[in-house]
Chain A
């Protein structure tokens, strides 16, 4: 019963997260994005549209800020008044950062967004009432709301385009918040297959749609718990610690050569996406 459960497991229920003494057990999905490899080509974004049934909202709604790109490519310039953008642009794929301590989760009135055991920031479409508080509280603004009923009244997928829809992913109706899921439908299958074979998911066995498509391989994705996973090695080499809000790079001078960082880390969201700084040659 609830009270007994409450009293017996009190210390469990009082556990903060993320914490060193209670790490993720089997899976902690994480990503690293190499901004030096990212060319800003937008293939990841299109892949996400294809995989996750994202609606194309059209010009008018795009103009109103109703777009649905779970992964969007941001393009930054050097804003120092130079005559030409002569060091190119900085492209940054921004997606839900799957924060370990996600600001969106605490504020949802109905508990529609939660932290899963795999370290994902889940979004339960059925439960969502559309208060949009999560989006208000997301510093990355990586959440997208269904301002209209795209499948029906908006007819975003006119016959026969609806046949392209991925049956593994819900088509969301109006009034529901949505965001990048790290392709949870793919993760679920991989985990299920691995479980039936009595093992954990191997590195590279599961890819997110954006990672799979990326022509330069800028996106790595995998299980941080798995010591053999590439993404974990990257995090380790860059000395980026999931559970810290200040990394070696910010603290020690000798670590200044590291490229790994997380965005808006000072807000203590503990994101699961590490970015690797873009490089520029100084000889030219």
Chain B
């Protein structure tokens, strides 16, 4: 059965939260709560709570990136020093630890930042094409709920949205 998208825009965040809660409670056939996407102009973790517990994995990228950065730097640098004609400088050991730690530290951060951003792009699914149902109002001041469901469920969605004072409901064109 084909699925269709529906986007509802709300002015009032509380109403949107209520709409989501109702959608969850309504247990509409042909609709999975995972198919609900909340679009919003600002970051508001307290609103997103209504969507349930959704894990974030960016920090794993951070950990790996930082460790890789640090390790790579240390071995690259000390390896380079050991193979640079074994040149003694200023009476210090050929592989001097304090300076190497300074650089390891810097590369630890650099690796961490770069891979975090990479992780962010992967986890957030960016860059992406915009979905067909998108309103510029979302980037202004309105909150949007994008749902995907069977054709049969559309009517139920609309009812709930309208009830919660949706300003506008956009519907994906049929196939």
Could you list which residues of chain A lie within 8 angstroms of chain B, going by C-beta atoms?
A: 2-3, 5-6, 9-10, 12-18, 100-108, 111, 113-115, 270
Contacts and interface: CB of A to CB of B under 8 A. Distances in A.
Contact of A114 (B79, B89, B95): B89
A6 B79 contact: yes
5 contacts: A5-B82, A13-B93, A17-B92, A105-B88, A114-B88
B91 A102 contact: yes
A115 B93 contact: no
Q: How large is the interface on B (under 10, 10 to 19, 20 to 34, 35 or more residues)?
A: 10 to 19
B94 A13 contact: yes
A107 B90 CA distance: 9
Given A6-B78, A6-B82, A9-B82, A102 B92 contact: no
Contacts of A270: 91
A101 B91 contact: yes
Interface in B66-118: 75, 78-95
Contacts, number: 69
Given A2-B79, A5-B83, A6-B78, A105 B89 contact: yes
B82 A106 contact: no
A102 B90 CA distance: 4
A14 B95 contact: yes
Contacts of B79: 2-3, 5-6
Given A3-B75, A6-B82, A15 B89 contact: no
Residue in A2, A18, A108, A111 whose Cβ sees the most chain B Cβ within 10 Å: A2
Contacts of B92: 16-17, 101, 106
A162 to B, nearest CB: 33
A106 B90 CA distance: 5
Contacts of B83: 2, 5-6
A115 B75 contact: no
Q: Which 6 A-B pairs have the closest CB atoms?
A: A101-B91, A106-B90, A2-B79, A105-B89, A13-B95, A17-B91
B77 to A, nearest CB: 10
B65 to A, nearest CB: 21
Contact of A13 (B82, B89, B90): B82
Given A3-B75, A13-B95, A103 B84 contact: no
Nearest to B90: A106
Residue in B75, B87, B89 whose Cβ sees the most chain A Cβ within 10 Å: B89
Contacts of A108: 89
A265 to B, nearest CB: 14
A21 to B, nearest CB: 14
Interface string B132-170: 000000000000000000000000000000000000000
A16 B84 contact: no
A115 B95 contact: no
Contact of A12 (B78, B89, B91, B94): B94
A48 to B, nearest CB: 25
Contact of A111 (B87, B91, B95): B87
A113 B86 CA distance: 13
